[in-house]
């Protein structure tokens, strides 16, 4: 019932890792071109759009980031629509939701036809209650920070790395903000830890937030009253 | 209602517990003991030239932050949440500073002089200056991230997100937008040095 | 807990209150918006959140073999804080609603379309965002097998079957014939094509809403499953 979009990414990652070892992919591979139109969205200066896209290793990593951004964007968007939040939590959902949506747009723009498509989500009530929302938001944002951090040293192209770092610190701001609203210390340690894609995937899958699309179309002969 | 699956949500503590815990961790760092979560790094002999330049720039950032918070605490103008913030963050910045100094060893730049003027004279001034300084730290780390080798990048990544947390934290305390932008733009070494001087670094 | 109250140093954030149980809240808050969810686990719909009498047992699959879905209207909490959702149910009497536990349902899906069937004028009109995007003449139930009036939704879509009678495409609705209660698969009212376009418009069917095949194909491109249906 619950499809695991991450598994497709793992396959790409394995392929890319072997290509990397073979020395096929280098930093130059998509330098200057990679960010393309997303430069404006990402606010990074000095890069120009070029026809070629990111190499396979970076495509896998960017799609992994895109899934996390889809997840966060959908979560905040639904929370805004449910209107179950009040005061500063409602403001935070509005601001952070807009930023996560911008991240989605930037990654989709960057990946072009290689962008993974938006999954279906079921947030199981966590967008419909302020306390559940804040807990989930804190957990998500801390997770996003750890996820980006876990990939930083694996990204090949400088421009993709710069983009990832520029987003990684914003996710950390979100994490601190949500923690503050929830009532826990925004920065509990001097050093934040990375998490591998396997670790992040396991946690995300355990939530069952990502679901398969409803199957509402069939091809049996109708038996309506006619 | 618990969040689903294995999502980790930190426990809400009494603030006094939180302070005690952070102070303890800070104390251990000053005593030179290994701190949980601190990155392990190669020693200075194996650093590339870009690594050395980057680390010395980030060293100046951490010197500035450490000096700023130390002065803020000495002047005793802070109370409540702003004080809790300054105490917690001062400890964390000390750990950052010690780490970078440790990696650089004999290649570390000298500690500058500082003159923060009125920036720690009141809660409002402190909060504004702290927010700006933490923003500058984020921009500095992000700017150097593409210059350094893998091990240094891994360590820097563990620090920059904490600086970003600091920035959002102090802004939340004074009701300023904690995260108004979609990205944290990197700054060049020149821009960072200018920012540090504007804050109060005197070389 | 007031989010705008100043935070005092030394105090933990106050836990939010589970003591107050506010009234039901509408889920779809924008104009022309409806929402639906998949029934992910078998569930018993009740007359009030967390209590009241049992109204119906919901399954996860429809007789057509598709995911069972319900139109969702409002959300409420029970006394112990559990979330319940009020849904339009595909049961008799037509128009029945009931409360289902939130965790029996999947994610919320949104539609901005609305199908309006006028039994007097013999037309079917599809609106999107309040604007008409489709209209066609229809055949509806004969006097002894009337098409039921009320508020329903499109529950399923069937394609690529072979049938002259139903035409190339058929939508299942949540509406049931009040008369043909022994009909196989429960006597659901469908919206489908026909092998007798010459009879349209007219009062000709056993309750279904029939339209010419070119019209049903066009509707098939415009109307997603989950669309609310008003029959008046």
Whether A217 maps to a domain, the answer reads no
Question: Does B134 lie at the interface with C, CB-CB under 8 angstroms?
Answer: no
Question: What is the DSSP-derived secondary structure letter of residue A200?
Answer: H
Domains and CATH numbers, chain C: 25-110 (2.30.30), 113-231 (2.40.440.10)
Q: Does the structure show a pLDDT above 80 at C83?
A: yes
Ranges of each domain in chain B: 44-202
Question: Tens digit of pLDDT for each residue in A43-89?
Answer: 443 333 334 567 888 899 999 999 999 999 999 999 999 999 999 99
- The token pair at B191 is 């821009």
| pLDDT band with cut points at 50, 70 and 90 for residue C200 | very high
Q: Please name the residue ranges forming H helices in chain B.
A: 15-30, 49-75, 80-104, 123-145, 150-173, 189-199
Supply the pLDDT for residue A25.
29
Average pLDDT, chain C: 91
Whether A165 maps to a domain, the answer reads yes
Shortest Cα–Cα distance, C208 to chain A (Å): 5
Helix or strand (DSSP H, E) at B201:
strand B201-202
The answer to whether B44 touches B105, Cβ cutoff 8 Å, is yes
Q: How far are the Cα atoms of C146, C152, C219 from residue C121, in angstroms, in the given order?
A: 15, 19, 19
Residue range C139-163: mean pLDDT, rounded: 97
Residues of chain C with Cβ-Cβ distance to A225 below 8 Å are 141, 145, 177, 180, 183, 187-190, 205-208
Task: Give the predicted TM-score (pTM) of the model.
Answer: 0.84
Query: In terms of C-beta density within 10 A (0-12 exposed, 13-18 middle, 19 or more buried), how is residue C163 classed?
Result: middle
The answer to whether A96 touches A76, Cβ cutoff 8 Å, is yes
**Pick the residue with more confidence: B200 or A24?**
B200
Whether A102 maps to a domain, the answer reads yes
Q: How far are the Cα atoms of A15, A148, A156, A157 from residue A18, in angstroms, in the given order?
A: 6, 21, 13, 17
Matching residue, tokens 């996710």: A171
Shortest Cα–Cα distance, C38 to chain B (Å): 19
Residues of chain B with Cβ-Cβ distance to C10 below 8 Å are 15-16
Supply the pLDDT for residue C223.
98
Inter-chain touch B1–A132, beta carbons under 8 Å: yes
Per CATH, the number for B44-202 is 1.20.1260.10
Q: Does the structure show a pLDDT above 70 at A118?
A: yes
Question: Tens digit of pLDDT for each residue in B48-98?
Answer: 999 999 999 999 999 999 999 999 999 999 999 999 999 999 999 999 999
**CA of residue B181 relative to chain centroid, distance:** 20
List all chains that touch chain B, counting a touch as 3 or more CB pairs closer than 8 Å. A, C
| pLDDT band with cut points at 50, 70 and 90 for residue B21 | very low
Angle of helix A87-111 relative to helix A158-182, nearest 10 degrees, comes to 170
| pLDDT band with cut points at 50, 70 and 90 for residue B44 | low
Q: Does the structure show a pLDDT above 90 at A40?
A: no
Whether A218 maps to a domain, the answer reads no
Residues of chain B with Cβ-Cβ distance to C8 below 8 Å are 80
Shortest Cα–Cα distance, A17 to chain C (Å): 35
Distance between CA atoms of A127 and C100, rounded to whole angstroms?
Answer: 17
Dihedral angle of Cα B38, B39, B42, B43, to the nearest 10 degrees: -30
List all chains that touch chain C, counting a touch as 3 or more CB pairs closer than 8 Å. A, B
Dihedral angle of Cα C2, C8, C12, C17, to the nearest 10 degrees: -20
What is the pairing mode between strands C51-58 and C123-128? unpaired
Its ipTM equals 0.89
Whether A171 maps to a domain, the answer reads yes
Whether A137 maps to a domain, the answer reads yes
Write the CATH number for A123: 1.20.1260.10
Q: Which of B15, B80, B84 sits opposite C12 (nearest CB)?
A: B15
């Amino acid at each position: 019932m619950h499809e695991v979009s991450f598994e497709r990414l793992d396959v790409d990652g394995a392929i890319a890792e072997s290509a990397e070892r073979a020395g096929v992919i280098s930093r130059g591979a998509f330098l200057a071109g990679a960010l393309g139109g997303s430069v404006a969205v990402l606010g990074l200066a000095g890069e120009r759009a070029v026809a070629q896209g990111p190499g396979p290793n970076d495509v896998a990593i960017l799609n992994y980031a895109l899934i996390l951004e889809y997840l966060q964007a959908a979560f905040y968007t639904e929370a805004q629509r449910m209107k179950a939040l009040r005061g500063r939590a409602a403001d935070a959902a509005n601001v952070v939701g807009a930023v996560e949506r911008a991240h989605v747009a930037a990654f989709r723009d960057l990946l072009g036809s290689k962008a993974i498509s938006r999954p279906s989500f079921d947030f199981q009530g966590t967008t419909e209650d302020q306390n559940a929302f804040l807990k989930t938001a804190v957990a998500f944002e801390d997770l996003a920070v750890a996820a980006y951090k876990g990939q930083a040293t694996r990204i090949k192209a400088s421009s993709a790395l710069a983009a990832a770092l520029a987003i990684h610190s914003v996710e950390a701001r979100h994490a601190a903000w949500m923690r503050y609203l929830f009532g826990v210390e925004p920065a509990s340690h001097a050093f934040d830890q990375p998490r591998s894609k396997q670790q992040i995937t396991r946690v995300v899958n355990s939530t069952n937030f990502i679901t398969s699309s409803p199957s509402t179309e069939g091809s049996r002969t109708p038996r309506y009253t006619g | 209602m618990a969040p689903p699956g294995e999502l980790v949500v930190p426990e809400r503590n009494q603030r006094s517990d939180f302070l005690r815990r952070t102070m303890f961790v800070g104390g251990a760092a000053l005593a030179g003991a290994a701190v949980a979560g601190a990155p392990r790094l190669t020693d200075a002999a194996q650093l590339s030239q870009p690594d050395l330049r980057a680390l010395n720039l980030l060293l100046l950032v951490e010197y500035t932050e450490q000096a700023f918070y130390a002065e803020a605490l000495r002047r005793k103008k802070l109370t409540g949440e702003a004080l809790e913030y300054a105490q917690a963050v001062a400890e964390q910045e000390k750990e950052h500073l010690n780490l970078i100094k440790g990696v650089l060893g004999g290649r570390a730049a000298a500690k500058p002089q500082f003159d923060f003027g009125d920036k720690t004279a009141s809660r409002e001034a402190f909060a504004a200056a702290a927010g700006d300084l933490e923003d500058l730290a984020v921009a500095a780390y992000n700017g150097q991230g593409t210059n350094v080798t893998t091990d240094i990048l891994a360590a820097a990544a563990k620090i920059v997100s904490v600086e970003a947390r600091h920035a959002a934290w102090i802004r939340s305390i004074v009701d300023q937008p904690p995260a108004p932008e979609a990205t944290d733009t990197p700054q060049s070494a020149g821009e960072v040095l200018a920012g540090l001087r504007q804050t109060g670094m005197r070389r | 807990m007031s989010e705008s109250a100043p935070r005092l140093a030394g105090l933990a954030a106050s836990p939010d209150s589970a003591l107050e149980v506010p009234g039901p809240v509408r889920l779809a808050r924008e104009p022309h918006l409806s929402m639906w969810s998949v029934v992910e686990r078998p569930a018993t719909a009740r007359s009030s959140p967390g209590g009241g009498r049992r109204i119906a047992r919901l399954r996860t699959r429809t007789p057509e073999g598709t995911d069972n879905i319900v139109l969702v209207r409002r959300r409420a909490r029970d006394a112990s804080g559990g979330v319940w959702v009020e849904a339009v149910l595909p049961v008799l009497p037509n128009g029945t609603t009931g409360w289902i536990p939130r965790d029996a349902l999947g994610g919320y899906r949104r539609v901005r379309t609305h199908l309006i069937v006028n039994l007097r004028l013999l037309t079917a009109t599809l609106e999107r965002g309040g604007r008409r995007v489709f209209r066609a003449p229809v055949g509806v139930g004969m006097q002894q097998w009337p098409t039921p009036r009320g508020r329903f939704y499109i529950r399923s879509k069937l394609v690529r079957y072979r049938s002259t009678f139903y035409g190339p495409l058929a939508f299942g609705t949540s509406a049931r014939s009040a008369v043909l209660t022994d009909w196989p698969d429960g006597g659901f009212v469908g919206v489908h094509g026909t092998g007798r376009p010459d009879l349209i418009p007219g009062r000709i069917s056993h309750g279904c809403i029939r339209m010419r095949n070119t019209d049903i194909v066009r509707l098939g491109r415009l109307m997603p499953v989950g669309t609310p249906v008003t029959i008046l």
